[in-house]
Amino acid sequence: MKILLINECSNLHTTLAKGLKQLGHQVTTLSGGNGWRNFPRDISLVRHNSSHLDGLRYLVRLYSLLPQLRHYDVIQINNPIFLDLRAERLFSIYRYLRRHNTCMFMGAFGTDHYWVKTSSDCHTFRYSDHNFGPQLRHDQAALTDRAEWLGTTKERLNTYIAKDCDAVIPCLYEYWASYHPCFPSKTQFIPLPIAMPQQLLPDIHDVPSTVRIFIGIDRERSAYKGTDIMLEAAKAIVSRYPHRSELRIVESVPFDEYQHMMDTSDVLLDQLYSYTPGMNALLAMSKGIVAVGGGEPENYEILGETELRPIVNVQPNYESVYHELEQLVLYPERIPQLKHQSIEYVRRHHEYIKVARQYEQLYMSYLHP
């Protein structure tokens, strides 16, 4: 198949492209690199700022590329806002791609109308980026999401593409739960793809004398994702147990550098308000690093996993994070088993060739029904 993957989200399309190429397909990636993360891509389309002049340059570059974006068997976009343009402009771009290619798929890989609407209904999820039980969250990022995706052109675009595309592909339980009630026949859950490291970290068998805790900070979304609370709890643990724990804080570094800095850790803190581990946590787990974050029962159920429980699940509050970190620091003999389970969990459900085969089967089912 000839496949085009448009835009990037936490290295998902980059990793998927590698897997699909291994299966013999011709794959092209087009993106702006996902900002400062600067993921690799075959066709680079970068908008540097929101100025009118830079927007004009971006449009000129895009329109010059459009003839190259034709005659693909499969085009997959990562989000309804699949290019750095206003929603109003994306209707015509989407229609052009739809008209000149065989199949269109939309990834449900992040914030969009259906996710914001569902997580704001205060009953589908016990907690999320937008609710704590029956209460809506009112931090700035949550307010911005609702203002952008509810009753707006972004909502109209999302609804239009979801109805028109061949299938919607959620990568996490939460996104599946947001789309499946509306589109039960075309919502196809496929796990996130992870390239397993060729060599394991050297100390995964050892009981650490000092538990090394790692946290990555995105200042723009720290409160939204709960990183601020996790960081506060981790600092308190290290202050109380200075000879048994240490903390490394990394902020907004390129992806390759981030991976390297993660490698000297035992424990990763990630996404307080999620039911599921994202790309960051799964990458750490593939290396044998214990993830503290989202590991609710729904995460294991959608994968059909009945044995492994490697994720240290926390509730969305300071006390839960503090307690779970304290248990790891006081009983570090648990850590080697959690590390081994983490590696097996990623290999079993997220290994990128396995995931690429699931995408391949889905694509083929629409190309040759």
- Report yes or no on 27 lying in a domain: yes
Based on the fold, state whether residues 183 and 89 are members of the same structural domain.
Answer: yes
State the total domains in the chain: 2
Instruction: Specify the pLDDT at position 219.
Output: 67
- Looking at the fold, whether 246 and 311 belong to one and the same domain comes out as yes
Identify whether residues 79 and 228 lie together within a single domain: no
Rounded CA separation 98/238 (Å): 53
Residues 238 and 258 reside in one and the same domain: yes
- Residue 320 falls inside a structural domain: yes
Determine, yes or no, domain membership for 205.
no
**Structure confidence by residue, pLDDT tens digits, 46-85:** 888 888 888 899 999 999 999 999 999 999 999 999 999 9
223 falls in which pLDDT band (50, 70, 90)?
low
Residue 199 covered by a domain: no
- 189 with 53, same domain: the answer is yes
The residues near 51 (Cβ < 8 Å, ≥ 6 apart) are none
Note whether 314 and 358 are same-domain residues: no
pLDDT reading at 116 higher than 80 = yes
Quote the mean pLDDT of the chain. Answer: 94
Once rounded to an integer, what is the mean pLDDT over residues 126-152? Answer: 94
Q: Does residue 142 carry a pLDDT above 80?
A: yes
For residues 131 and 223, membership in a common domain is answered with no
In sequence order, which residues have a C-beta less than 8 Å from that of residue 120 and are 6 or more positions away?
A: 130, 131, 136, 146, 150
Residue 256 belongs to domain with CATH number: 3.40.50.2000
Residues 24 and 106 grouped into a single domain: yes
Q: Are residues 180 and 237 in the same domain?
A: no
Is 359 among the domain residues?
Answer: yes
Prediction pTM value: 0.94
pLDDT digit string, tens, across residues 144-165: 999 999 999 999 999 999 999 9
For residue 85, which of 7, 3, 167, 4 has the smallest C-alpha distance?
A: 7
**Structural domain includes residue 203:** no
Q: Residue 282: what residue type?
A: L
pLDDT at 221: 61
Whether 206 is in a domain gets the answer no
Indicate whether 202 belongs to any domain: no
Distance separating alpha carbons of residues 70 and 81, to the nearest angstrom: 19
pLDDT at residue 135, as a whole number: 95
DSSP 261-279: HHTT-SEEE--TT-SS--H
When mean pLDDT is compared across 132-141, 144-153, 168-177, the lowest value belongs to: 132-141
Residues 313 and 360 in one domain: no
pLDDT tens readout for residues 272-303: 999 999 999 999 999 999 999 999 999 999 99
Look up residue 222 and give its two tokens.
Answer: 């720290």
Do residue 139 and residue 26 come from a single domain?
yes
Taking the chain, what is the end-to-end CA distance rounded to the nearest angstrom? 15
Count the Cβ atoms, other than its own, within 10 Å of residue 1. Answer: 17
Look-up: residue for tokens 């599946």? 176
The pairing of beta strand 312-313 with beta strand 290-293? parallel
pLDDT tens readout for residues 29-52: 999 877 766 778 999 998 888 888
Residue pLDDT, tens place only, 192-222: 999 999 877 777 889 999 999 999 887 666 5
Domain hosting residue 30, numbered range:
2-193+352-367
CA nearest to 29, candidates 19, 14, 39, 18: 14
Q: Are residues 11 and 74 located together in one domain of the fold?
A: yes
